[in-house]
Each structure stands twice: as C-alpha cells, then as structure tokens.
Amino acid sequence: MNQDFITDASELALEVAGAGLRYGRTWALRGCSARVPRGRVAALVGPNGAGKSSLMRLAVGLRRPDEGHVTVFGRPPRGANLARVAFVAQDKPLYPELTVAETVKAGAALNPHFDTPGARRRLDDLGIPPRRTVRRLSGGQRAQVAITLAIAKRADLLVLDEPLANLDPLARHEVMEGLMAAVAERGLTVLLSSHVVAELAEVCDHLILVSRGRVQVAGGIEELVSAHRLLVGPSGTAPAGAYDVIGSSETERQTTLLARVRGPIHDPRWTTRELSLEDMVLGYLRAPDAVLAPRPVAL
Amino acid sequence: MIEFSLDKRSGVATYMQIVQQVEQAMRLGRLGPGDRLPTAAEVVGRLAINPNTVLRAYRELESRGLVEPRPGLGTFVQRSLARPRDPALERRLASWVREARAAGLGPDDIRALLESALSGGLTGEATA
C-alpha cells in the first residue's frame, strides 16, 4: 500500500513486516504487517484481546517478534535506537508518592537527553501544580504528566496504550489538544490504541485495525475510507464491478454489502453509499475474518 | 487573530470548514492583507484535531491565492476579499431578518429563502 509514496525506508516511523509474537505456545500475533509513515497519528483499533498491546510491545522493543521483523525509523527497536521511542502504558506508571516536580527530576535522571525546561513549561501551561503528589492528581492530570515525560524524552515515536481510558470527556479533549500541539511542534509520530473510534476521526490520519491476532486492515484513513462503500441492492444478487466484500447482510428484500471497491459499480439496481470511519471500522469488526492488509513481505 | 470552531455534524470536511471560516473572515473584513493565521500548533491546541488537517486547509487557501506561507514566520493573508461596507444595505437586511423572525421563520427557513432569492427563484408572487 502506498509503496510509491514511501521511497526511503527511514521515512517510515514504524514498520511491522510479517511479525508474530508468541506467549508460550499461544500466538498472540501472527503474520502482522503495517507501516506508519513519519509524522502520522496512527490509531490502533480492535476488540479486547485482539493483540493491540502485543503489537505495541513489539513497537517499543519490550518484546522481539518470534517471526517476521519490526523496525522503528528503519532499525530494530533496541539499543541506542530505543531512545527514539517513548511508551506510555495504559496504567500510566508513575510513583504516587512523588510530587510532580520530583517526577520530572526522576525522568531527567533516567533519560540522557531529557528536556527538563520543556517538561516544566508544558506542565506549567497545563496548570498542573508542581508540588502536588501524583496520588492527588486527577486522572486527566496524571495522563498529562505521563505524556509530558514521554515528550520530554525527545522521542520521535510516541506509543500510547489507551491514553483516553478512564478520562472524562473534558479531560479527553484536553489530553488530545496537548498531544496534537506536540505533534505539530515536534513533528512527532504517534501510535495510540483506543476503543472509541468516534473520538479518533478528527485526531488520527492512519489506521491499524487488529483482530484475532492479525492486522485486518492498515493504511491512511482517508484513502481507506474513500475506498470503501456500502452497496445496497436486490436480495440474492451481486452487483457488477470490481470490489472485495468485507461483510454482508441479507433481508428478504435486499442485500447490503460492505465492500472495498476497486472501480466503479455499474449496476442500476444497486445503490452505493459512502461510509464514515466508524462505519468502516464497525464493518470490519463484525467480520473478523476479512483481511485487507498489505501482504507479509517475503524474507 | 482568527479562532476556528468546528461543527461536527455539518458533514463538511474539517479542513474545508477551516477554509470556509478564513474566507468568511476575509469577506467580512475581519482578516485582511498582512494578518497572520494561527499556527497549526495553536489551532490543534484548541481544537484537538490532527495538525495535517490544518496544513491541508492552509495549502488549499494558498492554492486559491488567498494566503502565503513565509518560512519560519507563519502563514499570512495576501489580499482582501472585503467589500466596502454599505450600512444602509446592512440595516435593511437586519430589519428584514427581524420581520422574518417575527413572522415565525427559523434560521433554516430564512437561509432557504435567501438561497432561493440568490438563485433567482423568488418572484414575490404567490403560488397556488
């Protein structure tokens, strides 16, 4: 997908090629392929247990793939290259007894290129009191502190596991505002997982949809959405044209198809409708066996 | 400085809403030559949208010849779309809108009437 557009592999912030990950004898991921170009904000979407967290663990180098390979800016995520990746786990691990200021100091002690003035400024702009202990912060403030530390690490790829979980709508909006401003200022690439697709439509421009341990569909959101249509026509028939059916439903009167179209549908008995991102994602989630991802790269 | 707002139910693409709001502000004279548009970081820091959406809107405005990016400085309005104001015309419109409201018309009814008048579909004669 978009192979012509990406000529230099270093312009890919993340590349997952035929990757698999095993816990004991169980494969959590199998044959997964996806690419995230630099500067994109990629949504990692899928049901619980589909493999989102496993894919993130591969991206940030917490695990090495048991098959295939994973690269971050063209190199495996280990050694010196790990400095380019920052990970915020879902439980936002911070020390509850430390104050915000002490948390920043700890971040500086643990990371060689830590931007201490930048972190202090950002927390100040967000109105987070430096002397308050992490324990006494709200959920939204804790998320902001964790994301601030990740940004201050001067990483180029930010990987966030469910950054919006357990936050109220206002806090979610504020976290996203801060994150998008950092993307604009620093040219960051972001990979974030979420359940709530509606919330991602304005924020993300790239999608990786995982289901049952496989990448079901991956690519630029605009290209993906514009390539999919809802086709409605008489029951028991199929429209003429070039398309792949992702899912279908049938009543006595009509057939409804969610399809990826490869050309115009010329069939007067069929109507075609454009889809929203949410409709497209739901269509795939309802058809977990439909796979429309780049083929695994032969090694 | 112009501030953007989004209507998520309008069905108009977000980047196009930004384009339209800049054009509207230029028409009304709220933005004129030399004015700087907010940076992508400033916009997304208030709207929580993808920065590329803002850049795309600014590229569209640039291709329409309305704004010009100056590297390192920002994006600047290049020309004026504002017409000289005509207070008498504005007064008559405001008074007409008051009458329409008093007659029980809502904003959508008023917009529909205005659209119809613009496209020459209003003759003022009663139809059966």
Domain boundaries defined on chain B:
14-77, 87-118
pLDDT at A112: 85
For residue B26 the two structure tokens come to 């230029």
Same domain, A202 and A236: no
Q: Give residue B120's pLDDT.
A: 82
pLDDT tens digit sequence for B84-104: 888 999 999 999 999 999 999
The pLDDT tens digits for A33-51 are 999 999 999 999 998 889 9
SS3 label, residue A193: strand
Point out the residue among A39, A178, A203 whose CB comes nearest to the CB of B49: A203
Residues A175 and A49 in one domain: yes
In a domain, A3, yes or no: no
Supply φ then ψ for residue A65, to 5 degrees: -65, 145
Q: Does the residue A279 lie in any domain?
A: yes
**Other Cβ atoms within 10 Å of B67 Cβ, number:** 24
Closest Cβ–Cβ partner in A173, A178, A180 for B51: A180
Query: Are A180 and B52 inside 8 Å of each other by CB?
Result: no
pLDDT at A299 over 80: no
Residue A291 in any domain: the answer is no
Instruction: State phi, psi for A238 to the nearest 5 degrees.
Output: -135, 140
Statement to judge: residues A194 and A238 lie in one domain: no
8 Å CB contact of A180 and B39: no
Classify residue A1: in a domain, yes or no. no
Bridge partners for A160 per DSSP: A88, A192
Is B50 close to A41, i.e. CB distance below 8 A?
yes
Q: Which of A196-210, A282-296, B110-124 bottoms out in mean pLDDT, i.e. has the lowest?
A: A282-296
CB contact, 8 Å: B45 with chain A? yes
3-state secondary structure A245-290: EEEEEECCCEEEEEEEECCCCCCCCCEEEECCHHHHHHHHHHCCCC
What CATH number is associated with residue A19? 3.40.50.300
Number of domains in chain A: 2
pTM: 0.82
B51 and A183 within 8 Å at the Cβ level: the answer is: yes
- pLDDT, tens digit (0-9, with 9 covering 90-100), for A160-179: 999 888 888 888 888 899 89
Least Cα distance to A82 among A101, A110, A106, A104 occurs for A110
Given CB atoms, is A31 within the 8 Å cutoff of chain B?
A: no
Rounded mean pLDDT, A76-104: 91
- pLDDT for position B127: 59
Looking at the predicted structure, is the pLDDT value of residue B119 above 80?
A: yes
% of chain A with per-residue pLDDT over 70: 94
Structural domain boundaries, residue A164: 9-220
Inside any domain, residue A94 = yes
Question: What's the mean pLDDT in A57-70?
Answer: 96
Q: Does B40 touch chain A (CB under 8 A)?
A: yes
| B14-77 CATH fold | Arc Repressor Mutant, subunit A (1.10.10)
Let me know if residue A295 belongs to a domain. no
pLDDT of residue A4: 37
